[in-house]
Amino acid sequence: MSDGLCEATEDASRPHPWAAVPATARERLEAVVLDAGDEIIKTVRAEVAEYALSMDGEFGRRLRLGVSVALDQFLDLLGTDAALPDTRVYFELGRVEHRHGRTMDALQSAYRIGSRVLWRRIAASGDDHGLEPDAIFRLAEALFAYIEQLAAASVSGYAYEQSLAAGSRQARQHALVERLCRAPAPEASEFEALAREAGWPVPRSVAALVLAEESLGTVCRRLPPDVAASVVDRVGVLFVPDPDGPGRLDAVADALRGTSGLLGPTVGPEQVTRTVTRARAAWALHLEGDLPGEGLVRSEDHLLVLLLHADVTLTADLVAQRLEPLRRMTSAARDRAVTTLTAWLDAHGDVGEAATRLHVHPQTVRYRLARLKEAFAGVLDDPVGRLEVALALRAGGAAAALAES
């Protein structure tokens, strides 16, 4: 293909089929061949349902031109070893077919009808023009080879237009995804316009899925075509419509086999920024190792981790303030205190349960807790204080950070 045109691939060592037809056939058959155009158009209109109402538009004009050029060229080629001089008309016919939303079936039928009508007229008048049986055979071979090359040019045109449309759809989908990733969220009218241009029905609810750029293509091929996806800021972003519908998350999880994706919350279209922001934040933590997991990871299952990392300076202040008593301890005492506090808080203050988790006697836990309550100066007896200590301990590496400071 060159500049959007089809170039036939042929074996230069072999003569063209029409070279075997006597040159005298050209003049003898001129009237029969050139007079076949109207009958071909009439038969195509009658037998190809897709064209019954379209023969007066752009396609009909191009088809009539194609028939006229095809008949003239066929006559000119008889008795020569020349290649097809130009397949532009038939390449463009294929492009028009794609633009009209049809498959190649109708156009291929039109080519078959054209060759059939023309051959029937030639065969009916063969005796009148003094063509030998062998010449008639060679003529048939030339005609069908000729029509095959014209049809191949249309297939190339169809494929070319298809590639252009795919690229255009991809560009429009990228524009949609890129806009949905920016704040503020688009107004309803802008959302609908972008979705319409991208061929994406506006969903009632949606969730953003963020994953590695190199995994996006594979995951998209495993999912239904109703997702919208592109690469934004070097990460893959995929919008899943109706994520809470039956089987939807199972399909997403299956598509993510072998890789990981972080899913934001389900929101309405007007809140799309929220799901994108949450999924991106979760992805950043996943890359840092603060939010482990493989396959489908739902951000809604890790809200505490997201909360503690939402404002790192605020979290650092909480750790510094609420875990200050640990700073004054030796390394061994600090590790024991963190282990005891964590077990006690996870056991909701149940000393027996905490002792079981620590594999020590309950009296040992009571002794340690008494020392810790003294060190924390009453904070552990206050519900809000206990919550703040628990959050500080949840902040990754809190005790280690205190030890290094």
pLDDT one digit per residue (tens) for the chain, 405 residues: 344 444 444 444 578 899 999 888 888 888 889 999 999 999 999 999 888 777 777 778 888 899 999 999 999 999 999 988 878 899 989 988 888 888 899 999 999 999 999 999 888 875 666 677 888 889 999 999 999 999 999 999 888 887 777 667 788 889 899 999 988 888 888 899 889 888 899 999 999 999 999 999 999 999 998 999 999 999 999 999 999 999 999 999 999 999 999 999 999 999 999 999 999 999 999 998 888 888 999 999 988 888 888 877 887 888 888 898 998 888 888 999 999 999 998 899 899 999 999 999 999 989 999 999 888 888 898 888 888 888 888 885 544 445 454
State whether residue 84 is helix, strand or coil.
coil
Q: Which residues of 55-86 are buried (b: 16+ CB within 10 A; e: fewer)?
A: beeebbebbeebbebbbebbbebbbeeeebee
Written as six digits, the tokens of 362 are 């309950």
Task: Tell me the CATH number for domain 188-309.
Answer: 3.30.70
Closest CA to 84 of 6, 141, 1, 2: 6
Burial class (CB in 10 A: 0-12, 13-18, 19+), 217: exposed
**Contact in structure between 194 and 201 (CB atoms under 8 Å):** no
Domain 311-404 CATH class label: mainly alpha
Enumerate residues 6+ apart whose C-beta is below 8 A from 28.
129, 130, 131
CATH level 2 (architecture), domain 17-165? Orthogonal Bundle (1.10)
State whether residue 247 is helix, strand or coil.
coil
Ordered by start, the domain boundaries in the chain are 17-165, 188-309, 311-404
**Contact in structure between 70 and 150 (CB atoms under 8 Å):** yes
Predicted TM-score (pTM) of the model is 0.55
The span from the CA of 208 to the CA of 385, in Å, is 36
State whether residue 64 is helix, strand or coil.
helix
